[in-house]
Amino acid sequence: MYGIPASHPRYRSLLLRAHMAEEMERGLIVPEGLIAHGRGEAFDYIIGEKTMPFAAKAERAAAAHLLLAKCPVISVNGNVAALASKEVATLASSLPSLKVEVNLFHRTPARAELVADRLRSAGVREILGVHPTVRLRGLPSDRGWVDQNGILVADTVLVPLEDGDRAKALASSGKFVIAVDLNPLSRTARAADLPIIDELKRALVRVNSSVISLKRRRSAWARIVETTDGQELRRQALAHMADRLKRLARGSSQEQPPRAR
Ligand code: PTJ
């Protein structure tokens, strides 16, 4: 596909890049979105391109938080729509209280419609944020435009591939912020109450499985939430990356950089 030989050791990664480039040509993602994707790839390369225990724990805790929330919202930008619309739709159908809201940094009415169309084709029934009328306090960029029935009144917001200013503004307005970001050093990961240091698609699949398995175990939700320290999990991600790099630098045969995906 895309003229990339299937035998290439980084075939899946190259395929995904070609898909993202195509999404940029369609206008779903912005050129800056390609840069953000490349940054994510670099961090995932260091992590080892798989979900590590600190992420698995955060994903389970995210499910418990979303189940406990009165008004949970997932915020969707261009990159999220291009990478994981299907996973967003699956999560929204497993958790009917979850609202799906389009929120863009580089907002144009046409892009907001494109993101909404992509979500609709993936199976999301109700999409907020396409014509937002209110602003979130403390956020001067276009990300400040929010839906009065969504992020404005949300108590818990899941913000994948986010910008630090917005994560901070959401947290300062009293919302519980769950971020998905492969970069544990980002301002978003540092500002979030619960940073999930994992790749977006892997993270959403696991949050969804945990929602399904925890749905009937209401008594477990509060305990999971109380025993999870998001910032401690972020520090564990950093420690894992530092250890892995040290092992690789020593030439450990057990720890090869990722190859085929
Ligand atoms: O669609 P728009 O207009 O709202 O713009 C979206 C972008 C992505 C351009 C905007 O949000 C942006 O500039 O994001 P940043 O500040 O570059 O942050 C994106 C973060 O997501 C970076 O820290 C990346 O490491 C991380 N990231 C990239 N791809 C993935 C990821 N994290 C998890 N999974 C990924 N697939």
Q: In this predicted structure, what is the pLDDT of residue 12?
A: 87
How far, in Å, CA of 116 to CA of 77, rounded? 10
Cα(32) to centroid of ligand 1, in Å? Answer: 9
Average pLDDT, rounded, for the chain: 94
N- to C-terminal Cα separation, the chain: 15
Per-residue tokens: 45:
């390369």
Cα(179) to centroid of ligand 1, in Å? Answer: 11
Per-residue pLDDT tens digits for 205-249: 999 999 999 999 999 999 999 999 999 999 999 999 999 999 999
Q: Report, in angstroms and rounded to the nearest whole number, the Rg of the chain calculated over CA atoms.
A: 18
Are the C-beta atoms of 58 and 195 separated by less than 8 Å? yes
Cα(216) to centroid of ligand 1, in Å? Answer: 34
Residues having CB within 6 Å of any atom of ligand 1: 29-30, 32-33, 36-37, 39-40, 43, 77-79, 83, 104-106, 161, 163, 180-183, 186, 199-200
Per-residue pLDDT tens digits for 65-111: 999 999 999 999 999 999 999 999 999 999 999 999 999 999 999 99
Amino acid at 52: M
Q: How confident is the model at residue 257 (pLDDT cuts 50, 70, 90)?
A: low
How far, in Å, CA of 81 to CA of 33, rounded? 11
Give the burial class of 56: count Cβ atoms within 10 A of its Cβ; 0-12 exposed, 13-18 middle, 19 or more buried: middle
Cα(190) to centroid of ligand 1, in Å? Answer: 15
Residue nearest to atom 1 of ligand 1 (CA): 78
Per-residue pLDDT tens digits for 1-35: 778 888 887 888 889 999 999 999 999 999 999 99
